[in-house]
Structure formats: C-alpha cells, structure tokens
Amino acid sequence: MTGVTEAQIMGALRGVVDADHGKNVVELGMVAGLVIKGGNVGFVLEVDPRAGAAKEPLRKACEQAVAKLPGVTSATVVLTAERQGEHRGSKNQPAAASHDHAHAHDHGAAAARKPGAHPEVGPRPAIPGIKSIIAVASGKGGVGKSTTAVNLALALAQSGKKVGLLDADIYGPSLPRMMGITGKPHSPDGKHLHPMQGWGIPCMSMGFLVPEDTPMIWRGPMVMSALEQMLRDVAWGELDVLVVDMPPGTGDAQLTMAQRVPLAGAVIVSTPQDIALLDARKGLNMFRRVDVPVLGIVENMSYFCCPNCGHRSEIFAHGGARKTAEELGCDFLGELPLNIAIRETSDSGAPIVASQPDSEEAKAYRAIAAKVAEKLDRDSAASRMPKITIQ
C-alpha cells in the first residue's frame, strides 16, 4: 500500500477554513515546509503575528484533518508567526523557495545586539514531569558538543537519575546516529509523540522525522516553533534531568531557546585553543544575559595520548578552558581527551560511557556528570531555581 501523498494532505487542508478570512489555509498560503516520512507528516502553519496564540485552534484543526487520512500515523503542525510585511509563500511555493527573501528575527535577539542592552526574557513555563533542564552548548561547531551531551546524559543516567535527551540542532541533527536509534516516533493519541529509546534513555530529534540527508531550509521562527513542540508535545514521562544538545553558535535560535525554555543551567563545551575559547565566552555571556546559570566549562580534546607508546601530546594547547573559567568566574567541570575510541563509539551508535563504562574516558565523563548533578541537587534543595519548579 502506498503512503500518503502531498496532494492528499493539501486536499484535506482545503477543508480547514480560517474564520478570520473565510478561506481555507491552502488558499491563504499558510502551509509551508511540508515533510512526509512514512506515515509521519509535519508542516508549518504561518500566521500573522498579531493573531499569535489565537490561531492555536486552527493549528489543531489542521493536525486533526491530516491525522484522519489513511496511512498517516502522526501529524505534527508547527505554528509560526511572520512579521508584518513578510511575504508568505503561495501554495506552490515551499519554505525553501521563500528562504532567500525572508529573514525573521526574534525581538529579544535584536535587543541583545544593542550595546549594553539586555534581551527581554519571556515566559518560561515549566515542562510537566521534568525537574531540571540543562543545555549543553558551544560558541561554535566542531568542538565535540554533541558527543559531550550524549555521554553526559548517559553518565547522569548511570548515577541513578531518570534522564531524557533532546537534540535541538534542527539543521544538523546527530542524535539518531550517535545513539544508534533507527525508526520513527509514534503518536497514539495524535497529540503527543512518544520519544525514541536508546540505551535506556528517551530521545527526540528532528533526525527521527526526516531522512538523514534531507536539508532543513527553515527560517528562524519555524525552527523555534519546531523546537518548542519537540520539547512540549513529547510524552517525556517523569524525568530528573532533560539534557538539551543545543545548536552551535549564539544566533537567534539559541538565544530564543534560552529565553523560552526553563533551563536550570548550561554546560559550555570548548577546545583549548584561543579561537574556540573566544566563541565559548560569547556562548557563556549569552546565557548570563538571559539569566540562565552557567554550570561550568568543559575542555574537550584537551590532550592526546598515543595508544601505542602512551606519549601525551597537547595538540590544541591545554588548560585554556580552565583559565577562561577562572577569568569569567564560573566552574571548570573537567577535561576530556582527544581519543579515537570516543569518535569510533559515537559514530557506531555505542557511546563510550555506555559501551565501555570501565574506560578512562567514560570515567572522565562520569566525573563531569557528578559535578553537574551535585549542582542541580544543591540548587533544587535550596530552591534557587523557581523557573524550573513544577507547579
């Protein structure tokens, strides 16, 4: 039996009328970024920012209309608001085509660019069932942030905590490969996705919803809406900690994520060389400007030990992250080696903390996780994190 087609989806959506305009959402050019993977369907519903949350019933109506189609196992509709004056794509113009001439930016991010200005921090509603959310971030890509996030999550789980893992890198999701997870999430009720499981940890990533080699050519607001739905419309269950692998850099998506998600803290990952530490400082200062505590800095690829002779080489220098932590008044969480075993286990979907728990590398990750857990437990006990308190 063939799967659902784009024509069938658009046909169903022609039956969903926007009461404010008296036309269906397809006629109004509100549907963009349609993705079909097996029985999973996802797309963006673009609305006027003045309407905002008032269009939530319209979003749900679109979701329900598509979910009823034969062959559809789940439907995920992301609501995103475009600024006044932006051109919405027509029914024949996908999101990729309109990407070049539309550049929507978060108001808070714009404020952050003004010298001396502090970005506005919007509401950070707690996620039911999740006690603490921590971000693993870096000022730039290529420093091993995702590898650190995955092994940190596994190390926290080995310490006895209930841990979840969210891959927030929409443009370059790596979680499915690194955790060795194949398949796609299901939505029994058509409203909430059940996370995938890897090494005993519930996981969610855009990589589960689109083919690995499919580029995500989405605008900033679309990315943020997708992230919020992956966070809030997933049946995470009861978690002590949700580890979020943040996108690299300090752009609008990263800043808005820090503004809207009730983060208990952030772990900054950097390599020792000066250029990486310069970007790490930017990432750290971004979190501080939106009142997110920085739990500390990790120095990745800190040194290399030859597997044959045991000689130690500091390829990217050494100790820069510790020095930066001291200068910026935050904790240094530990250093991790540049090791082929870490790379091989990550590429094969068997992270070293899970597959080689007795290795020195796994012990290094667990030492960092212990420091992070201690901070979370201490702050929770002292009630210093009202933004993550479950109401």
Q: Which CATH superfamily is domain 6-90 in?
A: Fe-S cluster assembly (FSCA) (3.30.300.130)
Q: What is the average per-residue pLDDT within 339-367?
A: 95
Identity of the residue numbered 331? D
Is the pLDDT confidence value at 119 over 70?
Answer: no
Comparing CA positions, the residue from 154, 131, 162, 163 lying closest to residue 376 is 131
Q: Read off the pLDDT of each residue in 361-378 and give the average, rounded to a whole number.
A: 95
Angle at 172 between CA 330 and CA 351, to 5 degrees: 70
Strand partners, 120: none
pLDDT 10s digits, 261-295: 889 999 999 998 877 788 888 888 888 888 889 99
d(CA 195, CA 149) in angstroms, rounded, equals 17
Check: CATH 3.40.50.300 for 130-388?
Answer: yes
Q: Each residue of 135-156: pLDDT tens digit?
A: 999 877 889 999 999 999 999 9
pLDDT band at 73 (very low <50, low <70, confident <90, very high): confident
Q: Is the pLDDT of residue 106 over 70?
A: no
Q: Is the pLDDT of residue 194 over 90?
A: yes
Band (pLDDT 50/70/90 cuts) for residue 64 is very high
For the residues 105-134, what does the mean pLDDT come to? 60
pLDDT grade, residue 381 (50/70/90)? low
Report the chain's mean pLDDT, rounded to a whole number: 81
Residue 11 has pLDDT above 50, yes or no: yes
**Which pLDDT belongs to residue 97?**
31
Domains in the chain: boundaries:
6-90, 130-388
Q: What pLDDT does 389 receive? A: 40
Q: What is the tens place of the pLDDT at every residue in 29-39?
A: 899 878 887 78
pLDDT band at 25 (very low <50, low <70, confident <90, very high): very high
Residue 118 has pLDDT above 60, yes or no: no
Q: 330 pLDDT exceeds 60? A: yes
The pLDDT value given to residue 234 = 93
pLDDT for 305? 83
Nearest to 301 by CA among 284, 318, 281: 318
3-state secondary structure the chain: CCCCCHHHHHHHHCCCEECCCCEECCCCCCEEEEEEECCEEEEEEEECCCCHHHHHHHHHHHHHHHHCCCCCCEEEEEEEECCCCCCCCCCCCCHHHHHHHCCCCCHHHHHHCCCCCCCCCCCCCCCCCEEEEEEEECCCCCCCHHHHHHHHHHHHHHCCCCEEEEECCCCCCCHHHHCCCCCCCECCCCCCEECEEECCEEEEEHHHCCCCCCCCCCCHHHHHHHHHHHHHCECCCCEEEEEEECCCCCCHHHHHHHHHCCCCEEEEEECCCHHHHHHHHHHHHHHHHCCCCEEEEEECCCCEECCCCCCEECECECCHHHHHHHHHCCCEEEECCCCHHHHHHHHCCCCHHHHCCCCHHHHHHHHHHHHHHHHHHHHHHCCCCHHHCCC
pLDDT > 60? residue 98: no
pLDDT(339) > 60: yes
Work out whether the CA dihedral 185, 186, 190, 192 comes out positive or negative: negative
Tell me the two tokens of residue 70: 């034969």
pTM of the model: 0.70
pLDDT at residue 52 in the model: 67
